[in-house]
Amino acid sequence: MLPVAVAANVVEIRARTRSTIMAVVKADGFGHGAVTVARAAVAAGAGWLGTTSVAEAAALRAARLAVPILTWLHPSGIDAEAAAAAGVDVAVGSVDELAALLAQATPTVRIHLHMDTGMSRGGCPRGQWDELIGLAQRGQRARRVRVAGVMGHLPLADRADPAANAPAVAAMRQARQAVRAAGLGSPPAHLAATSGTLTDPATHFDMVRVGAGLVGIDPSGTVRMHDASRLTAPIVHTTAVPAGTPVGYGGTYVTDRATHLSVLPVGYADGIPRECSPQAGVAIRGRRLPVAGRVSMDQIVIDTGAESFPAGTSATVFGPDGGATPTVHDWARWAGTIPHTIVTGIGPRVKRSIA
């Protein structure tokens, strides 16, 4: 299911852009396995991969993924030697970051100049673009770096409104022109992530960076993508209770009739949102059944009504099926959050398998 869904989502993206597709597999492929997602995306036509760190990129290289890789967050700083050894591009988002990179005694490192195009969350501020480009120019002349790209971010792309994206698009055009005017060639420019890619061709430039979209999430809410994951859990305990039975910590749920309660061995330690609405539920044998009471660290309770399910019966917490089966989007709505937090929050106790 996972590789097929990722491939289908890449095909959906390809139908909407002529630009090169970078498959961003940070956060362990949005919780789905970075190597698995990367392989499926590349097989479907993605030309680049994106990660948060050189270490993540090196793991993709170890898995024999040979396409270009860019890393741009650098939580532990840029390891230029490791980047050069792995053949990985790195983004630099400040004069200080580039100066520190140039101070390292390494072979030539391919860099992307990360410009702040309106996010104010990393990237070189507009007032320092000339200084950053000048330093990159000197570094390239000395063969310490090679400028291989220029990038920015769209702060308002989830609105699916080209007018909201226009200032960032204009800023990226100016940054690209400044890089060209400095004699640094015409490296590919990239600005759009999933929402921009799906809704605004003006943001596409030479490459688009698609992460959430690979696993079926469209933050703009305008395109139905293919959900890539399913979470199931076995019933481990079932009991019959009378009307008026309080359930879980605080007794926030009280049965309004004689019913059966089943326990699933997943809780907030496994990524089930603790704060979710009374509409939250799971699917058991084709029926949507409600979560009863508060989510515990290791368990949730399901009110199964007149039907008693034996231990071992599989419940689907979320999946791509539709109908009775909740989706990650349903859980995000019930928890008042975004689907990204659902799929990236599934904990390490949950066994992963690829279907």
Label residue 107 exposed, middle or buried (CB < 10 Å: 0-12, 13-18, 19+): exposed
Cβ–Cβ under 8 Å, residues 139 and 133:
no
Does the annotation place 352 within a ligand binding site?
no
Catalytic residue among 26, 253, 268, 351: 26
- For the chain, the farthest-separated pair of C-alpha atoms sits apart, in whole angstroms, at 80
Nearest to 331 by CA among 300, 310, 304, 354: 300
Residue 268 among the catalytic residues: no
Cβ–Cβ under 8 Å, residues 25 and 34:
yes
115 forms beta bridges with 124
Helices (H), 121-205: 129-141, 162-181, 194-199
Catalytic residue among 249, 253, 268, 351: 249
Angstrom distance (rounded) from CA 304 to CA 309:
8
Residue 253 among the catalytic residues: no
Does the annotation place 159 within a ligand binding site?
no
End-to-end CA gap in the chain: 5
**Which residue ranges make up the annotated binding site?**
121, 297
Query: Which residues are known to be catalytic?
Result: 26, 249
**Which residue ranges make up the annotated binding site for substrate?**
121, 297
